[in-house]
Amino acid sequence: MKRAYKYRFYPTEQQAAELSRTFGCVRKVYNLALDTRTRAWFTEQRRVNYAETSAMLSAWKRTDELSYLGAVSSVPLQQCLRHLQSAFTAFFGKRAKYPRFKSRKQSRASAEYTRSGFRWRDGQLWLAKLTEPLAIVWSRPLPDGAEPSTVTVSRDAAGRWFVAILVETQTEHHPRADSVVGVDAGITCLLTLSTGEKVINPRHERRERKRLARAQRNLTRKEKGSANREKARRKVARVHARIADRRRDHLHKVTTRLVHENQVVVIEDLNVRGMVTNGKLARAISDAAWSEFRSMLEYKTAWYGRELVVIDRWFPSSKTCSECGKVAESLPLHVREWTCRGCDVGHDRDINAAKNILAAGLAVSACGAGVRSQREPSRTRQPAAKQELSDVRPMEIPRT
């Protein structure tokens, strides 16, 4: 399988200038091709393919206005046209929105080099138009005998430079594990496992909130277009990068441990996009990064020969008693511990949900069916909201 290894590198002044020039040309070619394809579609109802835009690129280089496009490597320019073709294919296949123009102020700039645009020798990487190899910080080694097929150079909003090296590797299937686990995602506790373990939520954004607010206030005081404003913008970007790096590092450690220790991992299909519309919880939900957690589990289970089961988002995991299976009519969010009226067993809300997620996931894995809420019929033949009796009562804590 193909796998990308990302490293940080520190370019020289000449390399930084050449790569910045390449980023600008890539953005220009992408926008020109997108504008051409958009005009052709809305005026002539005609689709322009990659071959036509590639011929246009050759014509653009011969004009006086765009002659500077010939000063950079042609490989990243051709690759951005391929990316645009993929974007239109996804759009017409109703898998994505219409492609958007790239802005000069975008947070990340990148350029992709295929095999003809770089040279790899003795662990050193030369890019086209650059006379010196990149000073890469090898934080981890590449697989033995790996030969890069694609190299992507990028610069983030904080001014940091990265290179992603795509190589062909063997699938790393771990020995089969005997354990399975259900995972309930939350805010107070980032993850609650069906084993009863709770993973704390570091709340990285809240820890850096004062520093971020101070940097943002300093940015607003700077005159637009000035050098001082650019410095202040970099400071804000560095705080955001610090938060994102810490969050990603913590998620990597947690997901790697889950995948290594369990053969089957079961999670819920959370509607994160809908959840963040809640103004009171949007910031905390975004800081928890549930979508990134799921994406990490998806590719890591594929890497290591594990199974990821995603149950239906409407399954009432919190309201279902994990002992007798009775479904409560309501369970407000502030109730963290409750007692089932069917079997009189006390539950921790999150641990109970994780156990139900595991049971539902194993059922899905065994029979391949979806999991939907099986709501009990009303005993009073009235809507659930009008029933006077509830199947859940808060857990009674004995007084000492």
What sections of 189-336 are H helices per DSSP?
204-207, 209-220, 227-261, 272-275, 282-288, 290-303
pLDDT band at 369 (very low <50, low <70, confident <90, very high): low
Same domain, 24 and 139: yes
The boundaries of the domain holding residue 126 are: 2-168
**360 falls within a domain:** no
Give the whole-angstrom CA distance, residue 258 versus residue 296: 11
The structure tokens listed for 363 are: 């059922």
What's phi and psi for 180, nearest 5 deg? -130, 155
- Catalytic: 350? yes
Helix (H, G, I), strand (E, B) or coil at 181: strand
**Region 199-204: what's the mean pLDDT?**
93
**134 falls within a domain:** yes
Same domain, 159 and 16: yes
> Of the residues 112, 184, 205, 287, which is catalytic?
184
Of 311, 345, 371, the last residue of a domain is: 311
> How many domains is the chain built from?
2
Same domain, 187 and 303: yes
Same domain, 44 and 12: yes
Give the whole-angstrom CA distance, residue 56 versus residue 31: 13
Interacting residues of 10 by C-beta distance below 8 A, sequence separation 6+: 135, 137, 161
Same domain, 124 and 223: no
**122 falls within a domain:** yes
In order of 80, 331, 381, 390, 394, the CA distances from 385 in angstroms are 55, 12, 11, 10, 18
Same domain, 122 and 260: no
Name the average pLDDT for the chain: 88
Above 60 in pLDDT, residue 279? Answer: yes
Whole-prediction pTM = 0.82
Same domain, 106 and 146: yes
Above 50 in pLDDT, residue 247? Answer: yes
Pick from 70-84, 115-129, 303-317: least confident: 303-317
Interacting residues of 158 by C-beta distance below 8 A, sequence separation 6+: 234, 237, 238, 240, 241
> Of the residues 18, 112, 205, 268, which is catalytic?
268
**Region 29-50: what's the mean pLDDT?**
94
Of 281, 311, 341, the last residue of a domain is: 311
Of 263, 282, 311, the last residue of a domain is: 311
Above 70 in pLDDT, residue 203? Answer: yes
Give the whole-angstrom CA distance, residue 19 versus residue 155: 9
Same domain, 46 and 194: no
Same domain, 99 and 79: yes
**105 falls within a domain:** yes
**370 falls within a domain:** no
**Region 368-390: what's the mean pLDDT?**
40
Above 80 in pLDDT, residue 171? Answer: no
**362 falls within a domain:** no
- Catalytic: 268? yes
- Catalytic: 391? no
User: pLDDT tens, 297-350?
Assistant: 999 999 888 999 999 888 888 888 888 888 887 888 888 887 888 788 888 889
Sign of the alpha-carbon torsion through 349, 352, 354, 357:
negative
